[in-house]
Chains A and B, each alone.
Chain A
Amino acid sequence: MGRYLIRRTLFMVLVLFIVSLFTFIIFMKLPAGDPARRLAGSRATTPQELQAIRHSIGLDEPLLVQYGRFAKGLIPWPGFFLNKQVYFSWANNVPVSEEIYSRLPYTITLSLGAAAVFLVVGIPIGIISAIKRRSFVDRAGMVFALIGVSAPVFWLAYLMLYFFWFKLGWLPGIGVPAGEPILKSIALGRFILPWFALAFTFAAFYTRMIRGNLIETMSEDYIRTARAKGLSERRVIFKHGLRAALTPVVTMFGLDLATLLGGAVITETVFNIPGIGQYTLQAIFGGNFPGVMGVTVLAAFFIVIANLVVDVLYAFLDPRVRYT
């Protein structure tokens, strides 16, 4: 187990290194034009001023040195991690760490809330659909799943805003006001629409996956054996069927949650939630490379950690899996 964790941790570092390298190359080298010119926008700038801009953000250093400065800021150690000397927004002169730390609670709230919603909605519908196969309930569940996987989040979000905020006025829809404590925002229902908009697609996926898994599991020999032993149908489904059917959900849930924690860009933007996703978009459009690098590596970090946790958990849930 120990060796496994060490190996996975080293692999995680490698993944983060590759992600940071590609992010650097994509942002700094692929777009046409001079990054300093992009930062200066369309205004009049002399060559000296462009040079000053380059110098102020380290663009006058050799490329390897530039990358090294950013890579150093990713080392999880005080004084290094997201240090202000390098991870200082090119767009609004604010430390990236400050932006990320102040925004993370909003993204965590959005992600956990949405995760709770899609689990609570998706799993029961999937189970019922599988148990009541080809019934009206099953058909209704599958229609829900079809709509869910087909509806783009931005469309759904605007639709919900239109009806529940603009037309009916039942729920708040103008985002989270600056200065409002996050618990108060939750209490005032400011996250309800974003939670449901974000959860809808996920819930549909979970419904389909659980239904399929459960139907397949219920046709296994050991299920037939359990029934032959005279166990009640409820016990067969929930003790024997669901355990196997839900195991892949753990993997999927871990990765989905990690993805959400990396920033729900569209949902946060539409609902004006000042989270990581909104910052990501602002950083990209603002030409703010330190911000882009910070949130990209953060998102990658969440995913590799989730992967690790999921893999470890998987072995507990499924005795056939061994750490090797």
Chain B
Amino acid sequence: MKRILKLVAVVAVAGLVAAACGGGNKSTNTGSPSASTGALQSGGVLKLAIEADVDHAFDPAKEYSTLSFEPFRCCLLRTLVSTNGQDASHDGDILQPDLAALPQISADGLTYTFTIQSGIHYAPPFDNVEVTAGDFARAIARESDSQASANGYSFYYSPSGGTGGGIVGFDEAKGTVPSGVKVVDDHTLAITLTAPLGDFPWRMSMAAMAPIPPVGNSVLGWATGHTKDYGRYLVGTGPYMFKGTDALDPSGPPSQAAISGYVPGRSWTLVRNPSWDASTDPNRPAYVDEIDVAIGGTAQVLANEVDNGTIDMEFGGVPPAQQLAAYQADPTKATQVHATPSDGVRYLAMNIALPPFDDIHVRKAMNYVIDKDALRRTRGGPLFGDIAGHFIVNSLTGDINANYDPYASPNGQGDVTKAKAEMALSKYDTNGDGICDAPECNGVLTITDSADPYPAQNAILVASAKKIGISLDVRAGDRYTFMYDKCLDPTSHAAFCPSVGWFKDYPDALTFGPPTLGSAAIGPGGCCNYSLVGASNDLLKADGYTTTDVASLDAVFNKCTVMPIGQERLQCWADADKAIMEQAVPVIPWLFDKDVDLTGSRILNYTYDQSAGMMSLDHVALVGGGA
């Protein structure tokens, strides 16, 4: 979810962009660089720039942002299982073997056994050390240390993390190997869970689970003494490593000089890892020899640098609207603009425990009446996303619901007739004219972000809701100290939270439904069930609500959570999506976000990494091999 930060940062992109894009998950450039069919040449230095650094200096147990996910996946850290680094239309959302084969699952769904490849070695200075099962156990042990994983995502491994279950003994391990993790032999790792979790292999694909080299008999091996700064001493097995990794001294103290190729806040320099063997890694073509990333500068400055060839791309940013318009208008450059569904949804959250949204007909009427197209224009138009007709993004349900939109309206501009018909069924429309006439519809407390483009969006929402007699009392403030505080706190009685969105962590709908609409995600300690779906009677009473019974989706989610990865699981989540939209109706999804990248003229084979949600650095090649 932290990835929303990236999107929040780009919202100011104004609507100069007009190229319409189709649905599905394909990148929507029109050809050449990314569609290059000639043989791609290896070599060269890929020059990128980013506006700000990663959050936690590349510590895999702490980093929880898209900006770090891609360099981890593509380049620095191989994990037991992974993806091919491509978009959903090229199976980028399908789990692939990596350091291990896909796991064997016990009949009860509780034990996952991974068989690890032989002959994989770490980057220097651990190039003589072969990756073994114990190295993964070490990573799990580190993840169980709340200090090492603070700010990270240990909840995916903790039985008490609110994600349906976790590794046996994880909560008690506190920096040691949990009892549920068994090193059967050097190449076999068995992990036992407290409850069946169909998506568990995905959880093992995350960077925090990358192997940690052993050092002596210490439990945490090479990570010992680096609770806060392991990222600056990172040694992995990917095709690249930070420049200067080989200068680390395995027998030296934790206070030794950090890797020179990563200067926090200034630069990343990734060079080839001499230990990496392409024949063991079909997921990563790794064309370029070096990846240089400069940190700093505004979007406009970086856009100029792309234009004049100083850099090849702003990585993870959004090109300025003027630059996008100029490239799209130029047939020779239009192919350098790429837009790909990023597996994120923007939605409006209604508090189903508060009038007038405690009436499902009002919620359905709101779904009909909102002008989603106008909202989308505030974000840059169709290039930046498709109008959403349902909640869970299509790639996470295998496109089963791609054409599903129970509240469709012409061009997504709202259907007042249907909205009024729905409102007429509500108890808040006493005369049945489709206009809410109850006092509960006046001054509906709306908590929103004050930054652009939300003021423009608020105006659209106020105008849309007014058509069915709902007047919004809009209170805007800082996103983190006001908006989230109020929307996450049930006692604040916020009725409408329209500035929210959600992005997957990995390609499974478990990272979409339960965190946003599960009962465990209610309240400041939970995050981010703003709608109070599934709130208990006790919670509602304690927080001052008169409503005592609200819809719950927990049973629907629980059913899907335990299913193993496969078509049945996809269908289950697709059905859950329908339950969200028709039975509970706590949200008004309005945009399936797209990532928009603009690449320089040297870049060939642009590929979008669906799992990480960014351009795939290992699939990019340079014209003439960068010569």
From A40, A45, A57, A91, residue with most partner B Cβ within 10 Å:
A45
Q: Give CA–CA (A299, B232) in the complex, Å.
A: 28
Interface residues of B in 523-539 (CB under 8 A from A): 524-528
A42 touches B (CB below 8 Å): yes
Contact with A along B43-59 (1 / 0, CB 8 A): 00000000011111101
* Inter-subunit contact B481/A93 (CB<8 Å): no
A184 touches B (CB below 8 Å): no
Q: Give CA–CA (A32, B150) in the complex, Å.
A: 22
B309 touches A (CB below 8 Å): no
B564 touches A (CB below 8 Å): no
Which residues of B have CB within 8 Å of A92?
A: 53-57, 264-265
The residue on B at minimum CB distance from A285 is B52
Which residues of B have CB within 8 Å of A46?
A: 155, 160-162, 525-526
From B62, B147, B153, B264, residue with most partner A Cβ within 10 Å:
B264
Which residues of A have CB within 8 Å of B150?
A: 49, 52-53, 55-57
B64 touches A (CB below 8 Å): yes
* Inter-subunit contact A49/B484 (CB<8 Å): no
A88 in contact with B481 given A99-B265, A272-B297 (CB within 8 Å): no
Q: Give CA–CA (A106, B453) in the complex, Å.
A: 35
| Interface-side segment among A113-121, A170-178, A302-310 | A170-178
Contact with A along B170-187 (1 / 0, CB 8 A): 000000000000000000
* Inter-subunit contact B265/A274 (CB<8 Å): yes
Which residues of B have CB within 8 Å of A3?
A: none
Q: Give CA–CA (A217, B296) in the complex, Å.
A: 49
A174 in contact with B305 given A42-B484, A92-B57 (CB within 8 Å): yes
B310 touches A (CB below 8 Å): yes
Q: Give CA–CA (A49, B515) in the complex, Å.
A: 15
* Inter-subunit contact B155/A44 (CB<8 Å): yes
Q: Give CA–CA (A38, B55) in the complex, Å.
A: 13
B289 touches A (CB below 8 Å): no
* Inter-subunit contact B155/A33 (CB<8 Å): no
* Inter-subunit contact A56/B56 (CB<8 Å): no
The residue on A at minimum CB distance from B51 is A272
* Inter-subunit contact A44/B151 (CB<8 Å): no
Contact with A44, one of B57, B294, B480, B515 (Cβ below 8 angstroms) = B515
Q: Give CA–CA (A51, B149) in the complex, Å.
A: 12
Q: Give CA–CA (A174, B309) in the complex, Å.
A: 13
Q: Give CA–CA (A76, B87) in the complex, Å.
A: 54
Which residues of A have CB within 8 Å of B229?
A: 93-94
* Inter-subunit contact B228/A93 (CB<8 Å): yes
* Inter-subunit contact A177/B294 (CB<8 Å): yes
* Inter-subunit contact A43/B64 (CB<8 Å): yes
A182 touches B (CB below 8 Å): no
B14 touches A (CB below 8 Å): no
Contact with B485, one of A32, A41, A51 (Cβ below 8 angstroms) = A32
B565 touches A (CB below 8 Å): no
* Inter-subunit contact B147/A56 (CB<8 Å): yes
From B53, B267, B480, residue with most partner A Cβ within 10 Å:
B480
B1 touches A (CB below 8 Å): yes
Q: Give CA–CA (A56, B147) in the complex, Å.
A: 5
The residue on B at minimum CB distance from A279 is B265
Contact with A along B225-248 (1 / 0, CB 8 A): 000110110000000000000000
B146 touches A (CB below 8 Å): yes
The residue on B at minimum CB distance from A49 is B155
Which residues of B have CB within 8 Å of A21?
A: none
* Inter-subunit contact A33/B480 (CB<8 Å): yes
* Inter-subunit contact A42/B1 (CB<8 Å): yes
The residue on A at minimum CB distance from B529 is A44
* Inter-subunit contact A274/B526 (CB<8 Å): no
Closest chain A CB from B617 CB (angstroms): 18
Contact with B56, one of A43, A93, A272 (Cβ below 8 angstroms) = A93
A31 touches B (CB below 8 Å): yes
Which residues of B have CB within 8 Å of A166?
A: 304
Which residues of B have CB within 8 Å of A247?
A: none
A45 in contact with B525 given A32-B485, A33-B481, A56-B150 (CB within 8 Å): yes
* Inter-subunit contact B265/A282 (CB<8 Å): yes
Closest chain B CB from A125 CB (angstroms): 32
B2 touches A (CB below 8 Å): yes
Interface residues of B in 53-75 (CB under 8 A from A): 53-57, 59, 62, 64
Q: Give CA–CA (A45, B305) in the complex, Å.
A: 38
* Inter-subunit contact B265/A33 (CB<8 Å): no
Which residues of B have CB within 8 Å of A282?
A: 52, 265
Which residues of B have CB within 8 Å of A272?
A: 296-297, 301
Which residues of B have CB within 8 Å of A99?
A: 264-265
* Inter-subunit contact A47/B525 (CB<8 Å): yes
Q: Give CA–CA (A38, B161) in the complex, Å.
A: 20
Closest chain B CB from A14 CB (angstroms): 32
Contact with B along A36-70 (1 / 0, CB 8 A): 01111111111111111101110000000000000
The residue on B at minimum CB distance from A166 is B304
A178 in contact with B267 given A32-B481, A41-B2 (CB within 8 Å): yes
* Inter-subunit contact A48/B53 (CB<8 Å): no
A181 touches B (CB below 8 Å): no
Q: Give CA–CA (A52, B153) in the complex, Å.
A: 12
Contact with A175, one of B231, B296, B515, B525 (Cβ below 8 angstroms) = B296
A42 in contact with B4 given A32-B485, A92-B264, A178-B266 (CB within 8 Å): yes
B295 touches A (CB below 8 Å): yes
From B54, B150, B269, B527, residue with most partner A Cβ within 10 Å:
B150
Closest chain B CB from A2 CB (angstroms): 40
* Inter-subunit contact B301/A174 (CB<8 Å): yes
Q: Give CA–CA (A179, B525) in the complex, Å.
A: 42
Contact with A93, one of B59, B158, B482, B524 (Cβ below 8 angstroms) = B59
B448 touches A (CB below 8 Å): no
Contact with B265, one of A49, A51, A94, A175 (Cβ below 8 angstroms) = A94
A52 in contact with B264 given A41-B5, A44-B155, A93-B57 (CB within 8 Å): no
The residue on B at minimum CB distance from A47 is B525
* Inter-subunit contact A56/B295 (CB<8 Å): no
**Interchain residue pairs A-B with the least CB separation, the first 3:** A178-B267, A52-B146, A47-B525
Q: List 7 A-B contacts (CB under 8 A).
A: A38-B481, A42-B1, A42-B2, A43-B527, A44-B521, A92-B54, A175-B297
- Inter-chain pairs besides A32-B482, A42-B528, 7 sampled, C-beta below 8 Å: A41-B2, A46-B160, A46-B162, A55-B147, A92-B53, A92-B55, A282-B265
Interface residues of B (CB under 8 A from A): 1-2, 4-5, 52-57, 59, 62, 64, 146-147, 149-151, 153-155, 158, 160-162, 228-229, 231-232, 263-267, 269, 294-297, 301, 304-305, 310, 479-482, 484-485, 515, 521, 524-528
